[in-house]
Amino acid sequence: AKAAGKNQVVVFTPALRTEHADRSRLLTELRHALPGEELVVHYQPVVDLRTRRVLSVEALVRWDGPRGRVMPDQFIPLAEETGLIVPLGEHVLRRATADARPWWDAHGVAVHVNVSARQVRRPEFVDVVRDALASTGLPGAALVLEITETALLATGKVESAVVTAHLAALRGLGVRVAIDDFGTGYSSLAYLQRLPVDIVKIDGAFTRFAARPGDESRRRRALATAIVELCATLDLVAVAEQIELETEARAVQSLGCPLGQGYLFGRPVPAAEIAPLLGRPADA
Ligand code: C2E
Ligand code: CA
Ligand code: CA
Ligand code: CA
Three-state SS annotation for 213-256: CCHHHHHHHHHHHHHHHHHHHCCCEEEECCCCCHHHHHHHHHCC
pLDDT of residue 146: 97
pLDDT of residue 178: 96
Asked if residue 12 has its Cβ within 6 Å of ligand 1, the reply is: no
Neighbours of 17 (CB within 10 A): 10
What length is written for the chain? 284
pLDDT of residue 20: 75
Q: Please state the atom number of ligand 1 nearest to the C-alpha of residue 116.
A: 44
pLDDT of residue 175: 98
User: To which H or E segment does residue 52 belong?
Assistant: none
Asked if residue 244 has its Cβ within 6 Å of ligand 1, the reply is: yes
pLDDT of residue 7: 54
Q: How far is the C-alpha of 121 from the C-alpha of 242, rounded, in Å?
A: 28
pLDDT tens string 104-120? 999 999 999 999 999 99
Asked if residue 72 has its Cβ within 6 Å of ligand 1, the reply is: yes
Asked if residue 87 has its Cβ within 6 Å of ligand 1, the reply is: no
pLDDT of residue 155: 65
Q: What is the DSSP letter of 72?
A: G
Residue 170, Cβ density class (10 Å: 0-12 exposed, 13-18 middle, ≥19 buried)? buried
Say which amino acid occupies 113: V
Distance 60 CA to ligand 3 centre (A): 11
pLDDT of residue 189: 77
Which of 114, 145, 208, 265 has most ligand 1 atoms within 8 Å of CB, for mutation? 114
Asked if residue 71 has its Cβ within 6 Å of ligand 1, the reply is: yes
pLDDT mean values, one per 10 residues, the chain (284 residues): 51 62 85 83 97 97 91 93 94 98 97 95 96 98 92 73 92 96 75 88 87 83 91 96 95 95 97 89 54
Contact criterion met (CB below 8 Å) for 180 and 112: no
pTM, entire model:
0.91
Asked if residue 41 has its Cβ within 6 Å of ligand 1, the reply is: no
Phi/psi at 200 (nearest 5 deg)?
-120, 120
> What is the ipTM for the molecules in this complex?
0.98
